[in-house]
Copies of this chain bind each other. A is one copy, B any other.
Amino acid sequence: MTTSATDFHVFDTTLRDGAQREGVSYSVADKLAVARLLDEIGVGFIEGGWPGALPKDTEFFSRARTELKLQHAQLVAFGSTRKAGVRVEDDPQVRALLDAGTPVVCLVAKSDVRHVREALRTTLEENLAMVADTVAFFVGHGRRVFLDCEHFFDGYATDSDYGVAVLQAAFGAGAEVGVLCDTNGGMLPSGVSRVVTDVRARVSGRLGIHCQDDTGCAVANSLAAVEAGVTHVQGTANGYGERAGNADTFALIGNLVTKMGLPVVPAECLPELQRVSHAIAELANIAPDDHQPFVGASAFAHKAGLHASAIKVSPQLYNHLDPAVVGNDMRILVTEMAGRASVELKGRELGVDLTGQSDAIGRVVDRVKVLEADGWSFEAADASFELLLRGQLPDAPAPLFELESYKTSVEHWGNGVVVSEATVKVHVDGERLISTAEGNGPVNALDNALRQALVNRYPQLADVALADYKVRILGWRGGTSATTRVLIDTTDGVGEWTTVGVHANIVEASWHALVDALTYAVLRRPAAG
């Protein structure tokens, strides 16, 4: 099935325009991995970078020729039209783009008269010649050519005839797509729709759309352009890009397929969206956005409570889409309003068999109510909830250790040095262990000391690291009756889980969350124990 590559173009530029995001820096190996992931969601085109301009991108295209086997996508190299006053075949940037050896090239051209004059500092006529010459050059070398018309919408407001002339120059020279770019991202959907409709009446040739998210409308602007007749849409994974970012490829695909009924990617690829979104976030070293449409961890999460039983009976009344369609799932957040129905739903989600466990479910509901009244919150702490749930079942996991006592301290010395230290005394399988360690804070010191005491018995803890630590003070009244809630995110390099602890003392609250975190690590990988 090749719908995506023929009838409709989904064009991903995570590796080129998306790499403009502040703080993002892919290695060549990262870029190859991202390209493979994008291919798995069935996009038609993957723009890999700007060969010649960026040495890393030149290397990427060189390695891609042997290392990258794409099933659905064609690889695209990006470059600029020839320099003003230079013959196209003498322009080294054009040569590097040809040498990248991709089946498709995407050329960027100026289409706003002010940018031609003020940034490019050439004439309007020469810019048109640059477009025509460069397109013709690559078509002559057997390439498919797409033309990104930079600042098209702003330019169209100033001088629409010139935007049309650029497109005509490109199509006349053999370009396959003229991409209308909202480079500064200031458009709204109704404006995009008007311009696309107008351009379609004046130009024949396939049109594309490239939107930035500066008004928060990049996805909607792209869809408005599709409704107005474009059949080529550019996006980036998770919307990564300069400033407010680009149109999110996952939201584009999700909407085009499930809301607009356009089969723009092969049907079997759709359930890969969530996995690929998170994997690319990992490669980009950006924390996934839990609230991202379609693919975020919370995108289909419901605060359980009053409506839990209704959601259980008729989930379609509370979801805009069956989450499984995009590889996501419906998470039920356990809150103080939790009833038996939400615990059952949550148990199913966590893969805990609760068949015939009516009494245990009742005990869990009671326990959650008591704990949440004290300030515990399980809605963001699935791992602690799972431990609580399993703790009420017949095969409840045994605790890793018994605590005798701990002590942790912070000292600020006269010379300005700050030191933290902790000692834990625990019993593991009947053996009394005393362990002391330093840390960059009292909790880190406790973590180090406890891990040191347990690692011989539970070697899998060696791979475990705290990934995040959040603190919230609840019901503070003059500093005396306050309760502290601590959330700890933990990773073993494969997965990540969240635990919670609550106590008047921040260190004791952290200790609870820490012990849950390590217990859950062992529960996840018992074989290594």
Known A244-B293, A405-B411; 20 more pairs at CB < 8 Å: A25-B377, A27-B474, A118-B314, A119-B314, A184-B318, A190-B227, A215-B293, A216-B220, A217-B220, A242-B301, A243-B298, A243-B300, A403-B412, A405-B413, A409-B410, A412-B508, A441-B484, A442-B505, A442-B507, A467-B476
User: B407 touching A411 by the CB < 8 A rule?
Assistant: yes
Interface residues of A in 483-519 (CB under 8 A from B): 484, 487, 503-508, 511
Question: Which chain B residue lies CB-closest to A406?
Answer: B412
User: B440 touching A303 by the CB < 8 A rule?
Assistant: no
| Chain B min CB distance to A234 (Å) | 15
Q: Which listed segment binds B: A3-11, A15-23, A389-397?
A: A15-23
Q: How many of chain A's residues touch chain B, expressed as a range?
A: 35 or more
Question: Which chain B residue lies CB-closest to A248?
Answer: B216
Seen from chain A, the residues whose Cβ lies within 8 Å of a Cβ on chain B are 20-23, 25, 27, 29, 112, 114-115, 118-119, 151, 184-186, 188-190, 213-217, 219-221, 223-224, 227, 239, 242-245, 248, 251, 254-255, 259-260, 285, 290-294, 296, 298-303, 307, 310, 313-314, 317-321, 332-333, 377, 379-380, 403-414, 418, 420, 440-444, 447, 465-476, 478-480, 482, 484, 487, 503-508, 511
| Chain B min CB distance to A188 (Å) | 6
Question: Which chain B residue lies CB-closest to A423?
Answer: B411
Other-chain contact of A291, B243, B296, B299, B411 (Cβ < 8 Å)? B243
User: B184 touching A319 by the CB < 8 A rule?
Assistant: yes
| Chain B min CB distance to A485 (Å) | 8
Residues of B within 8 Å of A300, CB to CB, are 243
Measured in the bound complex, the distance between the Cα atoms of B467 and A466 in whole Å is 29
| Chain B min CB distance to A40 (Å) | 21
Chain copies in the assembled complex? 2
Residues of B within 8 Å of A479, CB to CB, are 440, 444, 447, 465-467
Question: Which chain B residue lies CB-closest to A444?
Answer: B479
A470 with B471: in contact, given A217-B223, A220-B217 (CB under 8 Å)? Answer: yes
| Chain B min CB distance to A4 (Å) | 20
User: B474 touching A469 by the CB < 8 A rule?
Assistant: no
User: A22 touching B379 by the CB < 8 A rule?
Assistant: yes
User: B189 touching A508 by the CB < 8 A rule?
Assistant: no
Residues of B within 8 Å of A245, CB to CB, are 291
18 residue pairs A–B, Cβ–Cβ below 8 Å = A27-B473, A29-B476, A118-B313, A186-B259, A215-B219, A215-B251, A216-B251, A216-B293, A243-B298, A418-B505, A440-B482, A442-B506, A442-B507, A465-B478, A465-B479, A468-B476, A469-B476, A470-B473
Residues of B within 8 Å of A186, CB to CB, are 259, 320-321
A505 with B227: in contact, given A115-B317, A310-B118 (CB under 8 Å)? Answer: no
Residues of B within 8 Å of A314, CB to CB, are 114, 118-119
Residues of B within 8 Å of A242, CB to CB, are 298, 301-303
Measured in the bound complex, the distance between the Cα atoms of B219 and A245 in whole Å is 16
Residues of B within 8 Å of A217, CB to CB, are 217, 219-220, 223, 255
Measured in the bound complex, the distance between the Cα atoms of B27 and A480 in whole Å is 16
Measured in the bound complex, the distance between the Cα atoms of B219 and A504 in whole Å is 40
| Chain B min CB distance to A44 (Å) | 21
Measured in the bound complex, the distance between the Cα atoms of B151 and A469 in whole Å is 37
| Chain B min CB distance to A196 (Å) | 13
User: B467 touching A320 by the CB < 8 A rule?
Assistant: no
Measured in the bound complex, the distance between the Cα atoms of B244 and A302 in whole Å is 11
Question: Which chain B residue lies CB-closest to A413?
Answer: B405
Measured in the bound complex, the distance between the Cα atoms of B442 and A319 in whole Å is 45
| Chain B min CB distance to A143 (Å) | 24
| Chain B min CB distance to A312 (Å) | 11
- Which of A21, A23, A318 has the most chain B CB within a 10 Å cutoff? A23
Measured in the bound complex, the distance between the Cα atoms of B217 and A151 in whole Å is 23
Residues of B within 8 Å of A254, CB to CB, are 215
Measured in the bound complex, the distance between the Cα atoms of B486 and A156 in whole Å is 44
Measured in the bound complex, the distance between the Cα atoms of B441 and A511 in whole Å is 13
A440 with B313: in contact, given A223-B188, A242-B302 (CB under 8 Å)? Answer: no
Question: Which chain B residue lies CB-closest to A115?
Answer: B317
Other-chain contact of A219, B27, B216, B379, B413 (Cβ < 8 Å)? B216
Residues of B within 8 Å of A299, CB to CB, are 214, 243-244
Residues of B within 8 Å of A227, CB to CB, are 190
Measured in the bound complex, the distance between the Cα atoms of B303 and A412 in whole Å is 35
